[in-house]
Amino acid sequence: MFVKKGDKVRVIAGKDKGVEAVVLKAFPKINKVVVEGVAIVKKHQKPNNENPQGAIVEKEAPIHVSNVQVLDKNGVAGRVGYKFVDGKKFVTTKNQAKYLINHEGKEKYNGKSLKRKIS
């Protein structure tokens, strides 16, 4: 799956279309992600010792990864591809392959921080 926790994405389908936010959680086995502030649902909680009256809590529901596109460091959404540089595999966007996806730079390549390194 091309989307990881912490990636900045744009929602491209559904009621929250056009929203840009951060991925909070990724579920690779079912191809879903939880995006901050997207697909808000109301969860009814039973009464318990901490909350004797119960509550209705709003939280984010998972959405399918096909409904999001990863943003590169310039904020441009695009399809994701992989690029091999010096025998290492890096994530890049297909529309502008020269830009590697930025992610709080763990490593440097040509002076640009990389999103993630895949081994």
Give the tens place of pLDDT for each residue, 64-73: 999 999 988 7
Q: 46 lies in which domain range?
A: 1-71
Give the pTM.
0.73
Nearest 5°: the CA angle 17, 66, 20 is: 35
- Percentage of the chain modeled with pLDDT above 70: 80
Whether residue 46 is found in the same domain as residue 82: no
**Closest among 86, 114, 111, 110 to 100, alpha carbons compared:** 114
Structure tokens at 66: 């096909």
Domain count across the chain: 2
Give the tens place of pLDDT for each residue, 79-106: 888 777 777 777 777 776 555 554 444 4
Radius of gyration over every alpha carbon of the chain, rounded to an integer in angstroms: 17
Whether residue 47 is found in the same domain as residue 93: no
Whether residue 115 is found in the same domain as residue 59: no
What pLDDT, on a 0 to 100 scale, did the predictor assign at position 104? 45
Whether residue 36 is found in the same domain as residue 66: yes
Choice between 99 and 63, residue whose per-residue pLDDT is larger: 63
